[in-house]
Structure 1
Amino acid sequence: MNLPQIPLGPLQARELRGAHGGPFDLDLAPGRCTVLSGPSGIGKSLLLRMLADLDPNQGRVSLAGVSRESLPASTWRRLVTYLAAESGWWEDNVAAHFADLDAVRPLLPQVKLDPTLLQAQVMQLSTGERQRLALLRAVVQKPRFLLLDEPTAALDPASRDGVEQLLGRLLANGMGLLLVSHDGEQARRLADVRLLLDQQGLHEVTA
């Protein structure tokens, strides 16, 4: 799929709301990492899914000034990609989930994965392997913003460090990140901006 020629710019939401959350106002900058935290069940995943237009929502959302409504839903989700903590797999083998195997092969060692996993069956993968492969599946599509729901929750420290280093390279290349994490140390390592979602709403953490 050829993506439209949209310049680098912010992902913005105004009065974004769904059946169980909002309204939210949000400004995410390209090349910056925003870490979102808050109690379990407060609606962090819902917020990410609404930004990606995966759950019913109302409000104004735009990318570099281009309104979400002006683009096909499939195009928007390629540009603003949500990655669940446990992503879906629709084929039996791993390779079938990647349109360009040559693009993903050099990324595998960066997140501590053996390239032979591309020939594996999905059912043979550990939770952490599935989590990292799903991340790479999203990365190779070159979205403008990645919305990541606890992307390292199932990983050992070495694998987590590899993922964080990859995310750092994506940021350096201009990709924007919104990352849900309950790990305060990870937030300190990655975040340019920290947000807290609680019963009072969505607000920036400055301390």
Structure 2
Amino acid sequence: MVVKQNKTNKRIFGAQRKIIIREASRIMSQKGYAGTSIQEIGDAVGIHKTTIFHYFKDKQEILLACMRFPTSEMVDGVKKIMDDKGLSPQEALRKAILNHIHLLTRNLTPNILYSNEIKSLSPKYRSIYIETRKLYEAHIVDLIKRLQAAPGGCFQGLDTKIVAFGILGMCNWLGKWYQPRSKRSPEEIADVFWRMFVSGDHGNLISTIASHEV
């Protein structure tokens, strides 16, 4: 009974923490880190500002969580893809691109925060965040290496890190132009990216994109 109660408490704690992260991300993306107060975050969540410190040490830790949360989810997602032995190297990389786009289009604010607020993180927290990003980038590099090593694989003779940063840069740029009410699903966008970057199938892509509202 005690174990069950502990699990329930952890779920409640985790759910409330996610709500705080979501609201803090939204406000900080609009007003900036310096222009956002704990009071505003508490009001948006519907709790007293002092209650927030039950979930986070300080505002710096909130900013770190806002920036790190989607990247951590991306790491978890790509790990599952890498562990799936039933996927070919090509299928694995394609799924990783789709996983990235799914998570990014679901919540664009962390990408805005990364562009604007990484300088606001203390050296300690910035280091933690960068390590999380490096871990994710390393997984993408590993997927590319697997594809290079496969018979007839892509990217033969190319620097894997440059290829990885090219793919990630293309995906992350979604934050600059993607609209939440887009008529293009994450699957459709991932397919266009895949064809452009990986399969080299550029035929009719311009007309395909031009004929649909993004």
Q: Same fold (TM over 0.5)?
A: no
TM-score range, shorter chain: under 0.3
Whose strand fraction is larger, Structure 1's or Structure 2's?
Answer: 1
Q: Name which one, 1 or 2, has greater alpha-carbon Rg.
A: 2
TM-score by length of 2: 0.27
TM-score by length of 1: 0.28
Whose helix fraction is larger, Structure 1's or Structure 2's?
Answer: 2
